[in-house]
C-alpha cells in the first residue's frame, strides 16, 4: 500500500472550507527528476484521503499523547519553515490509481514538491463510503444484517402487549383518508412491531407507505409507554427514524404523519436545502452560485406545507430559546448578501455553534416521537450525534431504490434496536451510472438481497382488475388481488377496442427515432424523441378530453426526457396546458386515472433482428429492456392505459412479446392506422 502524508494549517482549512477532508479524492502530480538534470515529465497518481489523524474531539487524546514526541517527529522541512505542529493537522492518503509505476527517484529523494488537486466527493457519497468503512464497528444487529446472519423470526416485543385494533381510522376517528388495514397489512404491522428485523414488500397500489405510517405510529406509542416507566434526568423518550432515499419519499410520509393528533414529528432537511431559505454568505455558497446544477437545484427545495415541523423553521420559532439570536444572525447575513460580500469567518463560526445548540434543543428537548430524514442525512453528525442513545426503531421506505451503503447510512445513523425495510425490488432499482459497477452488483439493493424474507402486501387499491392482471402474473407470480372498492367502480365514458372490461390498448406506430447528441434542458446526451408518437399522444389526449375526461386525470409517460419535453410543448400548443408529461422514473409513487405511455424506440422492419442477443436489445431498446421501469410504467393507471410504440421492434424482447400477446388475446392490439 502506497501512502502519502502532509500537513495543512487549521486556519487554511477553515478559510477554504475544506472540512471535512477525509474520504475525498486527490489528483497528485509530481515532477520527476532522475538526478541527471533531464526533464523526465510528471508522475500522476490518484489518492483517497483516509480518516484524519488529528481533528476535533475524537483526536484530542491522541494529540496529548503525541505532544511528548513533538520534537522527535519534526521533519527537516517543518524545522526549516518553523512550523508549529499544534496549529497543523495531518492528512494521510492512500494511492488508489496511477498512470504508471512510481519512479524510484521519487521514493529515494528526501522530499519533493507536489501539486495536489482536491476532488471533493458529494456529501451523500462521503457518508455512504464512511458507513461502509465503519460498518465493522456497528451494533451487532446491523453487522448481522450486513453479513446475512440476521433472523427475521426473533421476537423483541411480546405481541400480547400490542393493541387489538391497529387501524388508525378506529383509534383516531377524526382522521381523513385513512382506511382500515387489510389482513396482509395488519400482519406486516404486527411483524414489524415485534421483530428486530422486518422486510415488507409493497407492490404498486398496495399501500406500503400507509403501512409504514401505521408502523411508525405504533412504534411511537410503544416508546411513550417505555418513557413513562423510565425515571431518569435528561431522558425525554425514545424516537423513531423514518428514512428514505429522496426528500420526496420522506415528505410524502411526513404529510401522513402530520395529520395524526398527539404525534410529534420533526422533518430534518440537508443543510444545502436549508440554505435556500436561510442563506449564509460564505465562499462555498459563492462557488456554487457560479457553477449551478439544473438537476440538483430542482431537487433542493423544502416542502412549504411542512414548515411547522421542519427543523430549520422550528429553531426559529417563538418556542426556541435561541430563536432571537438566530434571527439576528440571519439579518446580518442578509446585509452581507445585499452588499455582495462574504461574511467574516468569526461570524459564520458563531452562527454555526448557535445553530448547533438550537438543533440539539429541537431534537432532544421537545419529546419528538418521529424524525423524518433522508438516509444519508441520517448519518450526518448534526443528526446522529444528538440522537445517540435515543433512537429505538428505524424504518427505511422505498428501500428497493437505495444502494446497500445508503441503507447502511440510515441504520448506522440510528443504531436502532428494530429495523424495518419497506420497498419493492420489482419496481425501480438504485440509479447507477457506471456499467462496470452495475455488473459488479452495486445495483442490487439490500432489500432485494433479503427479498425472499419479505412479507408481501397482496391487495391493490389502484388498478382496474384487468390492468392489474399482466403485472401481477409477470412480476408478482399472480399474487395480486384487486380490492372490492376498485371492482365496484363505474366506468367512464371512454371507448375501448373490446369494451369496458378491458380498459387498455396498444397502438402500433412506426415512427422515426431521433437522438439528442448534445446535453440540453430537454434531455441528456442519450435522450431520444419520436415525432410520430408525439402526434399520436396529442390525438389520444384530444379524444379523451372530448369524452369528458379532465386534464388533471391524465398523465403522459415516457422513458425519455426529450420526448416528455416535446410532448409538453406540443400539448400546450393544442391548449392542453394542464396535462403533464414525465419520465417513468419520476412517476414512481404517483398514479392517475388515465396514462398514455410513449415508448419512443423504433427501427425499420428490415433492420430488426428476429433473435437478437442482449447487447443488440440494449442498444436498440434501451430503457425498454429494464423490467423495473416497465413495471412502474404499466402500474400507474387506475382506469385506463394507452401504449404507443413500434410493436415489430419491441416484440423481439420476451417481456414485451408476452405483453403484446396478452393484449392481442383480448382484442386490444391495434396494428392498423385506425
Quick one: pLDDT at residue 521? 46
DSSP symbols for 586-648: HHTT--EEEEEEE------GGG--SS--HHHHHHHHGGGG-HHHHHHHHTSEEEEEEEEE-HH
What is the Cα–Cα distance from 321 to 418, expressed in whole angstroms?
33
Q: By the 8 A CB rule, do 547 and 492 touch?
A: yes
Give the model confidence (pLDDT) of 13-49 as tens digits: 877 778 788 889 999 998 776 655 566 678 899 999 9
Is the predicted pLDDT of residue 522 greater than 50, yes or no? no
In this chain, the answer to whether the domains covering 128-293+300-459 and 483-670 adopt an identical fold is: yes
Quick one: pLDDT band at residue 519, thresholds 50, 70, 90? low
How long, in residues, is the chain? Answer: 674
Q: By the 8 A CB rule, do 398 and 422 touch?
A: yes
What is the Cα–Cα distance from 298 to 572, expressed in whole angstroms?
22
Strands 370-374 and 637-645 turn out to be unpaired
pTM of the full predicted structure?
A: 0.89
Give the model confidence (pLDDT) of 39-92 as tens digits: 667 889 999 998 654 344 344 444 444 444 444 455 444 444 444 556 888 889
Quick one: pLDDT at residue 62? 42
Quick one: pLDDT at residue 30? 85
Quick one: pLDDT at residue 51? 67
Give the model confidence (pLDDT) of 291-305 as tens digits: 555 444 445 789 999
User: How many Cα atoms occupy the beta-carbon half-sphere of 372 within 13 Å?
Assistant: 29
Of the chain, the percentage scoring pLDDT greater than 70 comes to 87
Instruction: Tell me the mean pLDDT in the region 561-581.
Output: 94
Q: Could you name the CATH architecture of 128-293+300-459?
A: 3-Layer(aba) Sandwich (3.40)
What is the Cα–Cα distance from 478 to 342, expressed in whole angstroms?
61
Domain locations along the chain = 3-53+88-120, 128-293+300-459, 483-670
The highest-level CATH class for domain 483-670 is alpha beta
Quick one: pLDDT at residue 672? 73
Distance of CA 111 to the CA centre of its chain: 45
Give the model confidence (pLDDT) of 629-668 as tens digits: 999 999 999 999 999 999 999 999 999 999 999 999 999 9
What is the Cα–Cα distance from 52 to 89, expressed in whole angstroms?
8
Quick one: pLDDT at residue 235? 53
Mean of pLDDT over the chain? 88
Instruction: Tell me the mean pLDDT in the region 133-151.
Output: 93
C-alpha cell at 368: 419528538
Instruction: Tell me the mean pLDDT in the region 598-604.
Output: 97
State which of 19-28, 128-137, 437-446, 594-603 shows the largest mean pLDDT. 594-603
Quick one: pLDDT at residue 64? 46
Start-to-end CA span in the chain (Å):
68
Helix, strand counts (H, E) of the chain: 31, 22
Instruction: Tell me the mean pLDDT in the region 318-335.
Output: 96
Quick one: pLDDT at residue 37? 59
Strands 391-396 and 239-244 turn out to be parallel
Q: Is 106 exposed, middle or buried (0-12, 13-18, 19+ CB in 10 A)?
A: middle
Is the predicted pLDDT of residue 337 greater than 70, yes or no? yes
Quick one: pLDDT at residue 52? 53
Quick one: pLDDT at residue 285? 62
Alpha-carbon Rg for the chain, nearest whole angstrom, is: 29
461 three-state secondary structure: coil
Quick one: pLDDT band at residue 151, thresholds 50, 70, 90? confident
Of the chain, the percentage scoring pLDDT greater than 90 comes to 71
Quick one: pLDDT at residue 300? 72
Instruction: Tell me the mean pLDDT in the region 515-531.
Output: 68
Amino acid at each position: 500500500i502506497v501512502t502519502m502524508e502532509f500537513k495543512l494549517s487549521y486556519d487554511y482549512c477553515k478559510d477554504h472550507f475544506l472540512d471535512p477532508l477525509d474520504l475525498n479524492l486527490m489528483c497528485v502530480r509530481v515532477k520527476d527528476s532522475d538526478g541527471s538534470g533531464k526533464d523526465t515529465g510528471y508522475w500522476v497518481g490518484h489518492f483517497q484521503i483516509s480518516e484524519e489523524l488529528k481533528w476535533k474531539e475524537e483526536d484530542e487524546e491522541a494529540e496529548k499523547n503525541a505532544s511528548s514526541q513533538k520534537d522527535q517527529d519534526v521533519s527537516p522541512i517543518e524545522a526549516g519553515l518553523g512550523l508549529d505542529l499544534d496549529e497543523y493537522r495531518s492528512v494521510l492518503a492512500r494511492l488508489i490509481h496511477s498512470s504508471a509505476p512510481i519512479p524510484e527517484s521519487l521514493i529515494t529523494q528526501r522530499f519533493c514538491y507536489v501539486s495536489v488537486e482536491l476532488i471533493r466527493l458529494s456529501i451523500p457519497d462521503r457518508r455512504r463510503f464512511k458507513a461502509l468503512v465503519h460498518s465493522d464497528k456497528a451494533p451487532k444487529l446491523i453487522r448481522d444484517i450486513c453479513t446475512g446472519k440476521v433472523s427475521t423470526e426473533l421476537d423483541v416485543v411480546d405481541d400480547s402487549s400490542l393493541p387489538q385494533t391497529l387501524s388508525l381510522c378506529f383509534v383516531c376517528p377524526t382522521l381523513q383518508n385513512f382506511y382500515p388495514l387489510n389482513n396482509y397489512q395488519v400482519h406486516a404491522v404486527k411483524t414489524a412491531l415485534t421483530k428486530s428485523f422486518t422486510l415488507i414488500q409493497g407492490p404498486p397500489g398496495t399501500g406500503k407507505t400507509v403501512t409504514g405510517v401505521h408502523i411508525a405510529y405504533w412504534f411511537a406509542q410503544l416508546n411513550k409507554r417505555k418513557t413513562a416507566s423510565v425515571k431518569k434526568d435528561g431522558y425525554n423518550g425514545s424516537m423513531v427514524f423514518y428514512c428514505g432515499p429522496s426528500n420526496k419519499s420522506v415528505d410524502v410520509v411526513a404529510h401522513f404523519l402530520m395529520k395524526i393528533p398527539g404525534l410529534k414529528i420533526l422533518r430534518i432537511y440537508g443543510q444545502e436545502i436549508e440554505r435556500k431559505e436561510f442563506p449564509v454568505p460564505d465562499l462555498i455558497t459563492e462557488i456554487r452560485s457560479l457553477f449551478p446544477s439544473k438537476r440538483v437545484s430542482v431537487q433542493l427545495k423544502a416542502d412549504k406545507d411542512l414548515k411547522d415541523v421542519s427543523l430549520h423553521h422550528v429553531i426559529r420559532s417563538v418556542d426556541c430559546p435561541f430563536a432571537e439570536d438566530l434571527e439576528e444572525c440571519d439579518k446580518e447575513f442578509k446585509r452581507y448578501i445585499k452588499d455582495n460580500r462574504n461574511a467574516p469567518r468569526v461570524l459564520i463560526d458563531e452562527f454555526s455553534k448557535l445553530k448547533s445548540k438550537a438543533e440539539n434543543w429541537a431534537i432532544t428537548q421537545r419529546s419528538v416521537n418521529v424524525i423524518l430524514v433522508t438516509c444519508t442525512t441520517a448519518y450526518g453528525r448534526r443528526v446522529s450525534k444528538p440522537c445517540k442513545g435515543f433512537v429505538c426503531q428505524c424504518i427505511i421506505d422505498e428501500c428497493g431504490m437505495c444502494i446497500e451503503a445508503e441503507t447502511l447510512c440510515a441504520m448506522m445513523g440510528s443504531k436502532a434496536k428494530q429495523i424495518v425495510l419497506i420497498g419493492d425490488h420489482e419496481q425501480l432499482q438504485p440509479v447507477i451510472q457506471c456499467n462496470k459497477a452495475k455488473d459488479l452488483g452495486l445495483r442490487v439493493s439490500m432489500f432485494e438481497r433479503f427479498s425472499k424474507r419479505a412479507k408481501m402486501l397482496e391487495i391493490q387499491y389502484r388498478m382496474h382488475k384487468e390492468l392489474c392482471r399482466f403485472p401481477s402474473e409477470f412480476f408478482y407470480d399472480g399474487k395480486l388481488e384487486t380490492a372490492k372498492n376498485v371492482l365496484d367502480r363505474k366506468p367512464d365514458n371512454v371507448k375501448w377496442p373490446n369494451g369496458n372490461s378491458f380498459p387498455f390498448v396498444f397502438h402500433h406506430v412506426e415512427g422515426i427515432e431521433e437522438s439528442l447528441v448534445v446535453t440540453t434542458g430537454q434531455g441528456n446526451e442519450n435522450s431520444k424523441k419520436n415525432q410520430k408518437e408525439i402526434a399520436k399522444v396529442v390525438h389520444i389526449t384530444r379524444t379523451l378530453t372530448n369524452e369528458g375526461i379532465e386534464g388533471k386525470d391524465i398523465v403522459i409517460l415516457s422513458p425519455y426526457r426529450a420526448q416528455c419535453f416535446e410532448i409538453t410543448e406540443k400539448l400546450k400548443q393544442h391548449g392542453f396546458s394542464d396535462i403533464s408529461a414525465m419520465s417513468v422514473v419520476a412517476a414512481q409513487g404517483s398514479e392517475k386515472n388515465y396514462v398514455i405511455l410513449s415508448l419512443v424506440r423504433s427501427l425499420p422492419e428490415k433492420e430488426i433482428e428476429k433473435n437478437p442477443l442482449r447487447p443488440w436489445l440494449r442498444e436498440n431498446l434501451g430503457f425498454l429492456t429494464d423490467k423495473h421501469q416497465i413495471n412502474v410504467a404499466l402500474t400507474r393507471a387506475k382506469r385506463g392505459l394507452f401504449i404507443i410504440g413500434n410493436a415489430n421492434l419491441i416484440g423481439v424482447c420476451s417481456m414485451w412479446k408476452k405483453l403484446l400477446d396478452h393484449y392481442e388475446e383480448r382484442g386490444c392490439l391495434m396494428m392498423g392506422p385506425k
